[in-house]
């Protein structure tokens, strides 16, 4: 789009070099037919599949996280998050006899239950009441259904891309170092 100087350039007259420059403003090295619009941003060797033949979930997977695999760090973390969320809901109902009263429709565990299961409580993370699990559990505890849904959605997209770029083990290291950084934040 660097050579678009007016509407006539957009409507079809923009493929001619202007002032000795080729398409994209990079000189004649690219040639006439190799404009930036024709070069894919990320080369993808997969064959193209009609999204209508995949069904709803297949289409969502191909759009949002096409590299997702069942045997991956991302999938394991999402399963662990879901399991901890279900455990926190059950614990909240059994131990405290209720879910959070203001947000029952959103399936929010009681704050006392989250604290018992290892939420970030500064006084219990240091000193005489040091509880090591409180440095890990806040990465997996969620305060409600909307919270876990949004986190899982973002994890599926971002961690899947990270696994493809950095490998599964490096993605795990990045995930836990970032989680530790958030938990150790004094606020």
Residue 166 is classified by DSSP as H
Residue scoring higher pLDDT (166 or 30): 166
Tokens in use for 98? 């209720």
Is residue 155 a part of any domain in this protein? yes
What 3-state DSSP class applies to 18? strand
pLDDT tens, residue by residue, 45-78: 456 777 678 788 777 777 777 777 778 899 999 9
C-alpha separations of 46 from 42, 68, 163, 164 in Å: 12, 14, 18, 14
Cα 73 to Cα 175: distance, rounded to the nearest angstrom: 10
Number of domains in the chain: 2
Do both 30 and 89 map to the same domain? no
Is residue 51 a part of any domain in this protein? no
Do both 152 and 81 map to the same domain? yes
Is residue 96 a part of any domain in this protein? yes
pTM: predicted TM-score of the whole model, two decimal places: 0.65
Is residue 164 a part of any domain in this protein? yes
Do both 165 and 124 map to the same domain? yes
Do both 88 and 169 map to the same domain? yes
Asked if residues 78 and 152 have their Cβ atoms less than 8 Å apart, the reply is yes
State the residue range of the domain holding 142: 62-183
Is residue 47 a part of any domain in this protein? no
Residue entry with tokens 């069904």: 55
Q: Please give the pLDDT value at position 36.
A: 42
Q: Please give the pLDDT value at position 132.
A: 81
Do both 95 and 20 map to the same domain? no
Instruction: Find, among 153, 166, 152, the residue nearest to 64 by Cα.
Output: 153
Do both 21 and 85 map to the same domain? no
Other CB atoms within 10 Å distance of the CB of residue 139: 19
Do both 28 and 90 map to the same domain? no
Is residue 79 a part of any domain in this protein? yes
Is residue 44 a part of any domain in this protein? no
Is residue 165 a part of any domain in this protein? yes
Q: Which helix (H) or strand (E) holds 28?
A: none
Do both 176 and 91 map to the same domain? yes
138 has a pLDDT exceeding 70: yes
pLDDT-based confidence at 174, cuts 50/70/90? very high
Cα 135 to Cα 138: distance, rounded to the nearest angstrom: 7
pLDDT-based confidence at 18, cuts 50/70/90? very low
């Amino acid at each position: 789009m660097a050579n678009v100087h007016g509407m006539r350039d957009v409507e079809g007259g923009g493929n001619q070099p202007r002032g000795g420059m080729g398409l994209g403003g990079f000189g004649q090295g690219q040639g006439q037919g190799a404009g930036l619009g024709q070069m894919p941003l990320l080369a993808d060797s997969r064959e193209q599949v009609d999204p209508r033949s995949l069904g709803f979930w297949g289409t969502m997977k191909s759009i949002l996280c096409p590299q997702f695999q069942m045997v991956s760090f991302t999938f394991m973390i999402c399963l662990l998050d879901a399991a901890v969320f279900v455990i926190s809901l059950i614990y909240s109902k059994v131990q405290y006899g209720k879910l959070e009263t203001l947000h029952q429709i959103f399936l929010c565990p009681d704050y006392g239950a989250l604290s018992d299961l290892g939420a970030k409580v500064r006084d219990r993370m240091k000193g005489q009441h040091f509880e090591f699990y409180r440095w890990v559990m806040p990465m997996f505890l969620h305060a409600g259904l909307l919270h876990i849904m949004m986190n899982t959605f973002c994890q599926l997209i971002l961690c899947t891309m990270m696994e493809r770029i950095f490998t599964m083990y490096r993605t795990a290291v990045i995930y836990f170092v970032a989680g530790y950084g958030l938990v150790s934040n004094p606020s």
